[in-house]
Structure 1
């Protein structure tokens, strides 16, 4: 179905704007994503929006045509509106030409197949949606199975996190759990839990990584609780050659992820 919306007070506009709020996203089970590249990544991953919103007067593009055709063929809804209304929906002064409404994914641990990838990323109490999006991009880059969010993390379906993921929200599995749920799940099957730490740690280069490897990073300001670090199978340290005493959480996760990938590749494990 296709229709045009021209008024700011339209109920659909209010509904779309409400998806910028976590409470409404959870109630509806939907989230908002914007940008042709991001929506094209979703389509190429086999995921289509339930509703596609497009700005009037946009430049013609074959990828927009392909996206529109796929949504209509799947029984979705296509809406055309003004750039001003689209800006109101997305919260950006200069919105991209398209946005989409997607159903939230199953984020339970039970939905994960740990054997699907040799490496997984795990974040505890990560509060910055930009860091969360960066970790999703890192996971996509290294061929990780996904990102497991432990305890009170930023919402992976917020507009900011989805935008920062650059499409990786559609290529990476996302799970959410408490530490009390995660640790028994991890110990219920194969899996090595690794964290960057200063407690009884060994150099991150040359450490005995094993697949499937779960790389754990902590909160941006507090790091990991001692209890969580001590539960890890392996603790590694990365050298800090300047005055800074730590790396950004997402950066640390990326550095460690690439080292794990390199180690597993050279060991002939998992790749």
Structure 2
């Protein structure tokens, strides 16, 4: 890099903030509301490991917030230096400010504010043994975050959010992902957009349904891309999405409950797909 290029490179700032009335703090606190997340095209993630993982995966950081008590921590100072080098803002704050930002009494010592990222639906071109998950109108941020974490764990390719869903970048969802929000590509679409895209899907589209006639364990998912379509927590798959499935599957239940939690059902399905399609190595004895 030439001296001129170094001179033109954006350089961030480090500021010390102790007041809750500071405009920078107010802007970050506002990210608790979807309206402001959408306006700023940003979201919060808590924890040093999450921030490091996000930067390593190429996510764009806008602001790094860390507690005064972390001053002198080598790992925190290193990530602060990376943030400044990226041209972003670093705030050293009191624990009172950090608690207000995270809405926690015992907050993590580091919070990152990142630019949201969505994958255009048209750019998803499944091939080979690729596995994707589509969720219809998922409502619960805990469910959404847990599904994203499971997608990450099994090595599936990503997630498509269909219809009016809960925000994948809400603080509750991001917490539930345990960092997988940075590793799982997310696309979003209306039901109409999704159905139009589905027509060109080159593999198996499988949905779980209470009226499903096929046991989920009886299907060979290997040798082709798989799209797993899961319905809303309360209503399941609507007729138009159910009709778009090649197979409607059921997860047998022996007890009184007539259905599983969405995140649990998705995990059960993904690990069965993993067994036959992803063919990931298993540890000895498992």
Q: TM-score, normalised by structure 1?
A: 0.92
**1:67–1:241 CA distance, 2 compared to 1 (3 A):** same
Structure 1 range deviating more: 41-50 or 226-235: 41-50
Q: Which residue of 2 aligns with 1:256?
A: 269
Whole-Å separation in 2 of the counterparts to 1:72 and 1:165: 27
Whole-Å separation in 2 of the counterparts to 1:134 and 1:265: 20
Whole-Å separation in 1 of the counterparts to 2:128 and 2:155: 10
User: Number of residue pairs matched?
Assistant: 267
Q: Which residue of 2 aligns with 1:184?
A: 196
What secondary structure does 1:209 align onto?
coil
What secondary structure does 1:242 align onto?
coil
Whole-Å separation in 2 of the counterparts to 1:263 and 1:126: 27
8 A Cα contact 2:59 2:115, kept in partner: no
What secondary structure does 1:102 align onto?
strand
Decide which of 161, 174, 177 is 1:165's aligned counterpart. Answer: 177
Q: Which residue of 2 aligns with 1:224?
A: 237
**1:232–1:54 CA distance, 2 compared to 1 (3 A):** same
Q: Could you list the per-position Cα deviations for residues 136-181 of structure 1 after superposition, in whole angstroms to 9, with x for gaps in the alignment? A: 1011011111111111110001011111111111000011111100
Q: CA deviation at 1:37?
A: 2.2
Any residues of structure 2 matched to 1:64-143 within 5 Å, and which? Answer: 64-115=76-127, 118-143=130-155
8 A Cα contact 1:33 1:39, kept in partner: yes
Q: Which residue of 2 aligns with 1:2?
A: 14
Any residues of structure 2 matched to 1:1-80 within 5 Å, and which? Answer: 1-58=13-70, 60-80=72-92
Whole-Å separation in 2 of the counterparts to 1:116 and 1:76: 39
Whole-Å separation in 2 of the counterparts to 1:144 and 1:110: 18
Q: Could you list the per-position Cα deviations for residues 12-65 of structure 1 after superposition, in whole angstroms to 9, with x for gaps in the alignment? A: 011001111101111111111111122122123222422100011137544323
8 A Cα contact 1:48 1:71, kept in partner: no
What secondary structure does 2:228 align onto?
strand
What secondary structure does 1:260 align onto?
helix
**1:76–1:36 CA distance, 2 compared to 1 (3 A):** same
8 A Cα contact 1:32 1:102, kept in partner: yes
Q: CA RMSD in A?
A: 1.9
- Bigger Rg over Cα: 2
In structure 2, runs of 5+ residues without a counterpart are 1-12, 280-286
What secondary structure does 1:93 align onto?
coil
In structure 1, runs of 5+ residues without a counterpart are 267-271
Whole-Å separation in 2 of the counterparts to 1:200 and 1:78: 52
Q: Which residue of 2 aligns with 1:269?
A: none
8 A Cα contact 1:104 1:157, kept in partner: yes
Whole-Å separation in 2 of the counterparts to 1:71 and 1:105: 18
Q: Which residue of 1 aligns with 2:249?
A: 236
Q: CA deviation at 1:67?
A: 1.7
**1:183–1:38 CA distance, 2 compared to 1 (3 A):** same
8 A Cα contact 2:220 2:277, kept in partner: no
